[in-house]
Structure formats: structure tokens, C-alpha cells
Amino acid sequence: MNEDLVDRLRLLRTAGIGPVTFRQLLRRFGTAAAAIEAVPDLARRGGGKAPRLFERGEAEREIARVEKLGARYLTLGQGLYPRLLAALEDAPPLLIAKGNLNLLDRTAIAIVGARNASAAACRFARGLAHDLGQQDLVVVSGLARGVDSAAHDGALESGTIGVIAGGIDVFYPPENEARQRAMYERGLVLAEMPPGTEPRARHFPYRNRIIAGVSAGTIVVEAAPRSGSLITARLAAEAGRDVMAVPGSPLDPRAQGCNQLIRDGATLIQNAEDVVEELGPVGRVRSSVIPYRPEPELVNGDDNAVDLVEELLGPSPVPVDEVIRLSGASSGAVQMALLELDLAGRLDRHAGGKVSLRPA
Amino acid sequence: MNEDLVDRLRLLRTAGIGPVTFRQLLRRFGTAAAAIEAVPDLARRGGGKAPRLFERGEAEREIARVEKLGARYLTLGQGLYPRLLAALEDAPPLLIAKGNLNLLDRTAIAIVGARNASAAACRFARGLAHDLGQQDLVVVSGLARGVDSAAHDGALESGTIGVIAGGIDVFYPPENEARQRAMYERGLVLAEMPPGTEPRARHFPYRNRIIAGVSAGTIVVEAAPRSGSLITARLAAEAGRDVMAVPGSPLDPRAQGCNQLIRDGATLIQNAEDVVEELGPVGRVRSSVIPYRPEPELVNGDDNAVDLVEELLGPSPVPVDEVIRLSGASSGAVQMALLELDLAGRLDRHAGGKVSLRPA
């Protein structure tokens, strides 16, 4: 049994420890084992009681189950873990993967869109995915109905990755079971949640960040305003990736999301050549480059750091950078205080690096 | 009889004197009468013989005919002549107008597109023109079949200007006679060519520059690649005006021109609100602002200027600016030499301020 994996899993599956907190604990304590030992004391300093840690036995059972499913873990920052995904501040600390892991070595491009897309849009997505496959690109999508399914189908021969919101062994929607099984064999399926997890609404935005994160760019095909596909596009843009959209007639309500994306700066694409042109030579090699991000060293602040930071926070999310600036303390000390409040169950972390105090 | 108008018409209708040459003659000699006197000597200096000037009697007959048609001339730089159009270097020195001249006082927006557009595109153009009319914008188009006709129809109540390639009294295509007559009454029709002129293929790009030139922005609705509508869009962009396009599905071949325009930088628009947003508050007042362009004073060069400039020219068009730079002479002297070559029938002027020597 891989002891480090057991420790990482114990930490990650502990309630209240999300990807950002996990990453900061590893940064501060070097190993998951050391972090586990430190958690109770940190939570106490944050003014709460220690979270109940995921038991060793539970972790071992999950690992055994993943192995039995023919799947394996990918560990952030190690081995085959997708390097573009690792660049996200909230990258999943562990992913569960089943299928052809070699696909992780090629540049990936996401194709996403409406579940209730028109037949024409699905046909377009399938053809586009096929043509991008001919350009040696791996097509990523979410194994949903509609555009996602069409994109996977078009790229099944050349290489496709499906990122699912539930467990690696859960088929959702049920009619996609055959497609997902085919991708275990000839493509690759990735899941963040433990095996057996039925996907819930809140899981889908997490799934979407992985789709955007593993891909050099995201293409949206027919999306309604305020749909999940547009969330994926926004996450891709925030991660500095290319966002592309397929236009449609203003008379077609299903084209509004994509047309608005283009108005907001996404590149209009009509075919695979347009996509390759947009990605450019940089895009083709980008998967081997991790953007540089300085990682502040977390330091033990003086005893007043938690009180100071707590006083600056309220129920409205504010950027961590602003908290640091207002506190007058060092970045490392503030991050440490936030970590302590977090582990004490007194902090909420939000998109865009914002934090708020959890209402009592 | 307006003597200055007679002189301008004589100069303009003289073979070989185009809008740019006309403008430079006026710049150099102050009045059309003085320019007419100077032409023979200039042509001789340019190494050719003087062009046969349009006769005074011919000019008087044209003026009488225009009056009888219930139309009138608009003179570049004077009175009601559209101020945005005057900003074009090759603005028509005279326009013939029939209809409601008050429309020239409001901000205009062009809607152009394919003659064989889909029914959906025509419906969209008609609705858009109507909605833009409600925003107090005047809709300009080319009185062609398809999108043009739909745009005029949608804005007939609120105000629309048709720019035609032939004479003010010529109906082309013939089935648009009723529409053009309605616009004499309730809209405005503009023509550059003399009455009775049947439009020929070469007239349409000239017509297109007027459509783009009078308008604060140009909207393209369904245009084939390499179509006249795209020429209008290019001319609008060159004149520093907003270019907008209505997208369509990549699966629809008729959408390719507009989608490519958007890829090239045109703003995607879906409705009148998008257009108003694009024009912005600046767009709404722009019609009263003439961009500043310093006008070099043309000077009589020494006798060698024509030889010098002629030596720098060949059959391939080169920018006038480059000729000036290479010559080492003053801008005014080079322009004068070009004017002399031009009047001698030895120069061709091209789009984008380029010139070439006419093959003997």
C-alpha cells in the first residue's frame, strides 16, 4: 500500500478540507502525514475543534475499490497528473482515472455545449471533434447528453477524455453507460469524487473546472445563457486558456449564449482549422509548460494573526490579497491564519481566491 | 444658373478627372473656374495633351434635367452635403439627391447584405432596420434585392437613404421601381452618376463607398465571401467607421462571409441594442464631426518634379507617401507632379492612396 497516497486520501476526504486548503497544508508541512498531525493544533489555533479525520481504514478501502475497478489515482504534482490542470490554484489533489493514460500526454481541447442542443449542433460537434483528432488533439468533454456525447463520439478513434461529476463507476446519464464503457477501453475517464458517488448539482461546476483545466482551450457549441457550458468557458478564461465559440443566427435562441461569448471576446470558430490557428504553435506545446506562480511560504504568525484576520473578515467574500494588504501582516502569516480558521470550520473559500467568515 | 455648380460639373464630368484629382484641383486653385483654366497647362507639363473639357452647354443641360426630375445637387464641403462622407479622400465632389433632405442631418447606419439572402436574413434585416429607426438612426442601403430592400422597407417610416449605382432616375433592379419611388417621397435617394446612367458592374464599388461613407457604421447581414457587401465593410473600416456583422451557423454557407468578418475584427451584433452599444455616445454625435486631416498645400514644383516622380513610378501601384519619401521633394511638389501626370492621362489612381503609371 502506498502510504503517501493513504495519507493524501485521508486528508482530502476529511470534511472541510477542500483543494485549496489541501494544497496549502502540503505547502506548509511538506507531506500529507505531517499535515495530518498538525491539523488538530491548527484548528485549535483557529478557534474551533479539530475536524474528524477520514480514517485510515476508510482510505485503504477506497484505494482497494479503485484498484478493483481497474482505475488508478493521479496525484497532483506527480507523474501523469495533467500538467495544465496542476496550474489551477484549486486543482484536484487527487484524480481517479480509468482508460488510456497516454492521452494525458497530448494537447487537449475541450468541446462543451447544451444537453438539449439541436441535431445540427450535435452533428457539427461530432465533425469538429473528428477533425481536431486528425490534428493530433485530444478532445475533452463532460460525458453529458447532447454536444458532449457528440464530441466524444467524433473523437473516439483519435482520443477523447470524459470528465464526470460522479464516481468513476457511476453512469450518468444512464443512457451514456455504453459510451462511458467504450471510453474506459479506448479513451479515458476522469473523476474527482470517490467511487460510488452519485453526481449532484453542486458537483458539476467542480467537474467543469477540470474540463477547462486539462485543456489548452475550450470550444462552446450552442449554449443557453447562464448554462454550465458558459461556466466552463469562464473558468477557462480565468485560467488563461483560449475560449472559442461557434456562432449561430440571432433568430435561433440556442445560439444566444455563444454569440454573447463572442461579443465578450471569445474567438469565433467555424472549423478545425480556425481552432488550430487560434491555439497557435504555443498552444500545441503549452501542455508541457506550467505557468510560473510564486508560492508564498506559509509561516506561523504570532498569536494575534488569527484575531487580526478574523476582524477583517465578514460574511461577504473578499479577495485574500485585500485581506493581506489591510492586515499589514506578511502574506505567509495571513495565509496561515486563514488556514487555521478554515480547519476550524470558520472560513468559506469562494471562486476567484475570495474568502468569507462562515456565519456562526 | 449657379455658375460655380456649372464649373464644378464641367470639371467633374471631364474624362480622366476623378474625385481625388477634382479635390486636389480645387485645393490648388480655389475655384472650379480657376482649375478649368489651369488644366491645359497642367496636362502639358505632365507630358500629355489637355483632356477635352465637358462643355458648358452639356453641364447646363444636366443641371436642367436634374431640376426637372425634382432632384438637386449636393456639393462637397457645402450646405447639406453629408459631413461624414466629406471625410473620405475620394468623396464624390457632387451628389444628386431626391427626397427628404432632412434625413442627412441624423446619424446614419448602413445595413447591407446578399441579394440572394435567405428569407430569415431578410426578415432579420427588416426587423433590425425598424428597431434602429426607433433609436432615431437613419438606415442606409443600396436599393438592391434581398437584404438591401428589406432594410429600406423596415425603415421607410422612420427614415431611410438609398444610394444607387446608376442615375437618379434609373430603376435597377426594375422590380424595385415602386420601392425607389416610395423613397423619393418618404426617404431619400442619392446618386453619383448623371441622370440616365444605366448602372454597370464598375459603378457598384463606387456606390458602396458612398454607403459606407455617409454612415457612422456598417452592418453586414448574410454575405458571401468576396461579395460587394464585404467591400462595403472594408471601405467602412478604412474610413474608421464601425463594422458590425450578424453571425450564422458554420453549417450555413451564406453565413461564412459574416462569420469571417467577425473573425477579422467586426463586432458581432444580434439586435438593435447591440448596434447602439457599439456606436456608443461618440457614434451618435459623430456625424457632426469631420476628422482632422491636414491638407498639404500644392505648390508648383521645379520643372524636374514631373520627371523625378515619373521615374519613381511603374505599372505596379505604390503609395503616394512612399513616392514622396523616395523623391526627397516636398509633399506639395510631388502631389502637383502627380496631378499633372494625371491630367495628362498618364497616371492611374488606386484604392488606398496608391498610384501607378498608365501603360502607354
Q: How far is A267 from chain B (nearest CA, A)?
A: 7
DSSP A35: H
| Confidence at residue B225, expressed as pLDDT on a 0 to 100 scale | 84
DSSP state string for B286-323: GGG-PPP---PPP-PPPTHHHHHHHHH--SS-EEHHHH
Q: Is A118 on the interface with B (CB under 8 A)?
A: no
Q: Do B247 and A268 touch (CB under 8 A)?
A: yes
Mutation pick from A147, A256, A263, A278 vs chain B, by most beta carbons of B within 10 Å, is A263
Condensed to tens digits (0 to 9), the pLDDT of residues B272-285 reads 999 999 998 755 44
Q: Residue B130 is inside which H or E element, if any?
A: helix B119-134
Residue B295 binned pLDDT confidence (cut-offs 50, 70, 90): low
Can you state the percent helix, strand and coil of chain A, rounding each to 5? 50, 15, 35
Q: Is the pTM of this model over 0.90?
A: no
Reported as a single tens digit per residue, the pLDDT across B54-65 is 999 999 999 999
Is the CB of residue B299 less than 8 Å from the CB of residue B332?
A: yes
**Interval A110-116 mean pLDDT:** 96
Contact A182, A154 (CB under 8 A): no
Sign, CA dihedral B199-B200-B204-B207, equals negative
Confidence label for A201 from pLDDT (cuts 50, 70 and 90): very high
So what's the pLDDT on residue A292? 44
Query: Which chain B residue's Cα is nearest to A249?
Result: B248
Evaluate if residue A284 carries a pLDDT over 50.
Answer: no
User: What is the rounded CA–CA span in Å between residue B217 and residue B278?
Assistant: 9
Count CB pairs under 8 A between chains A and B: 65
B276: closest CA of chain A, how far (Å): 14
Interface residue A251 vs chain B (CB under 8 A): yes
Residue A274 and residue B267: Cβ atoms within 8 Å? no
> Which residue's entry shows cell 439572402?
B117
Residue B246 near chain A (CB below 8 Å): yes
User: Per-residue b/e over A18-57, b at no fewer than 16 CB within 10 Å?
Assistant: bbbbbbbbbebbeebbebbeebeebbebbebebbebbeee
Mean pLDDT of the A190-198 span: 97
Q: Nearest 5°: phi and psi at A78?
A: -125, 150
pLDDT in tens, B25-39: 999 999 999 999 999
Nearest CA in chain A to B275: A263
Q: Which residues contact B181 (CB under 8 A, 6 or more apart)?
A: none
* DSSP type of residue B62: H
* CA distance to partner chain A, nearest, from residue B105 (Å): 31
CA-to-CA distance for A266 and A18, rounded, in angstroms?
Answer: 31
What confidence score (pLDDT) does residue A187 get? 98
- Residue of chain B whose alpha carbon sits nearest to that of A122: B251
Residues of B in contact with A251 (CB under 8 A): 120, 123-124
